[in-house]
Chains A and B, each alone.
Chain A
Amino acid sequence: MDSTQLLKGVLDLAVMAVLEERDGYGYEIVTQLRLAGLEPIGEASVYGTLRRLHSAGYLTTYAVASDAGPHRKYYRMTEAGRQALADGSKTWLRFTQTMDVLLHEEQR
């Protein structure tokens, strides 16, 4: 299966996981995800996901004035977002445990 297919399904969780620890702006989040190993992730996907999570009420935004450059739009997780992340993480772990068992069965 193409890894980008899998990525789309879990991008919400990935993005929110990054924002759980610390607020961030768009491109910073992209960098973090790529550093974590999600190489093929495109900026458009990340920004689109941020946009969607924001309209769902899981994220809020605020602008930070910067001396050296233009304003940056920062994203912050809301309470609802934290809850959604917790639920999604549980679901994800259950799923990966199931897949682990299945895939190990297949390898036999």
Chain B
Amino acid sequence: MSTQTIDRAIGEYVGRCVEHLRDLPESDRSSILDDIRQILTEVTAELEGAPDDLLGPPDRFVNELRGAAGLQTGEPAPPINRVTVQGLIEWAARLRSHRATQWLSALARDLRPAWWVGRGLLLAGVLAQTTSLEAWRWTGGILPLPAVFDSRVLGWVTMAVGIFGSVQLGRKAIGWRRLAGVAATLVAVLAFVAFASTVKNSYPTVLTGDHPFTDVTYAGPPETTAPPPLDIVDGMAVLIGTDAGMQETVYSPDGAEAVYGGFLAAGVAPGSIWVELDGQRSYPGSVDAFYQILANRFR
């Protein structure tokens, strides 16, 4: 193409750019048009082709140039795209602080197997607690061993099954296994909460529970030889014993019943068992009389 043809093509292209710059002030508009003319001069010096082919249609070209020049809205953009790079830096920094969160969630993930074992144990404990009188025995003060239907062997089996099942549910938590795992977790957590809140009030099941006590406001351990808990008020203790020397201090109706039943089982005649309340001893002649005394005292 001859220089004249090129110049004419450039002039025509620049002319078509004008309408996309109308919103700009005169000075900006004319300087941009000069720039476009300059660009086209340089480009056509290097490459063959019509301006439209080399740069694309005027509207797109002008928009792109204005965008890069920061003249979209007629205001210059900040010199360095500090906005963008800074924004990216801050975003990365926020992510980095999230790495602490990442670490924590990684830790939680690593601890999950331990939870699976604990969950299995709790589930075995649910069965133990609901089927045995003495559900747990602490071996060496460390390991809790459950009994199911009062059988230690069954307890061991249940514990092994529970732990194994829980671990298996956890290892491949998809589909039904996932649902089962969630259900197991719920049951285990609820059971734990229930255990924790009833530990103070858990008495052995009443052996001769024909006269249940209701509205008893006292709570305490049934252990008859253990020292009383600190929140027991003086005078709430019941002493049960025989003239032969056996005696127990009891702090609850259920415990008293258990002790009384224990004396009976040991062969002591009902009339020989005394009950000492507030320093006064009485010899209830029968089980019913015994209950009546306790009911009067503990209500």
- Name A residues whose Cβ lies closer than 8 Å to a Cβ of B: 8-13, 25-28, 31, 42-49, 51-53, 55-58, 69-70, 72-73, 84, 87-88, 91-92, 94-95, 98-99, 102, 105
Among B56, B64, B89, B92, the residue within 8 A (CB) of A102 is B92
Cα(A31)–Cα(B69), bound, Å: 19
Task: Give every chain B residue within 8 A of A56 (Cβ-Cβ).
Answer: 76, 79-80
Query: B43 near A43 (CB under 8 angstroms)?
Result: yes
Q: Which of A26, A48, A51, A70 has the most CB of B within 10 A?
A: A48
- Name B residues whose Cβ lies closer than 8 Å to a Cβ of A: 32, 35, 38-39, 41-43, 45-46, 55-56, 60-71, 76-77, 79-82, 84-86, 88-89, 92-93, 95-96, 102
CB closest chain-A residue, reference B89: A95
Given known A27-B43, A84-B79, contact A9–B88 (CB-CB < 8 A): yes
Q: 4 closest A-B pairs (Cβ-Cβ)?
A: A48-B68, A56-B79, A44-B64, A9-B84
Q: Given known contacts A45-B64, A48-B66, A95-B88, what 9 new A-B pairs fall within 8 Å (CB)? A: A9-B85, A12-B81, A13-B85, A25-B42, A28-B42, A42-B56, A58-B79, A98-B96, A102-B92
Task: Give every chain B residue within 8 A of A31 (Cβ-Cβ).
Answer: 46
Given known A27-B42, A84-B79, A88-B85, contact A102–B95 (CB-CB < 8 A): yes
Cα(A98)–Cα(B67), bound, Å: 28
CB closest chain-A residue, reference B87: A9
Task: Give every chain A residue within 8 A of B38 (Cβ-Cβ).
Answer: 26, 73
Query: A53 near B88 (CB under 8 angstroms)?
Result: no
Q: For residue B285, give the distance in angstroms from its CB to the closest CB of chain A.
A: 79
Q: Which of A11, A28, A51, A73 has the most CB of B within 10 A?
A: A51
Given known A25-B42, A26-B38, contact A47–B81 (CB-CB < 8 A): no
Task: Give every chain A residue within 8 A of B89 (Cβ-Cβ).
Answer: 91, 94-95, 98
Cα(A91)–Cα(B89), bound, Å: 8
Cα(A46)–Cα(B61), bound, Å: 11
Cα(A48)–Cα(B84), bound, Å: 17
Query: A52 near B69 (CB under 8 angstroms)?
Result: yes
Query: A53 near B79 (CB under 8 angstroms)?
Result: yes
Query: B79 near A8 (CB under 8 angstroms)?
Result: no
Q: For residue A80, give the distance in angstroms from its CB to the closest CB of chain B.
A: 9
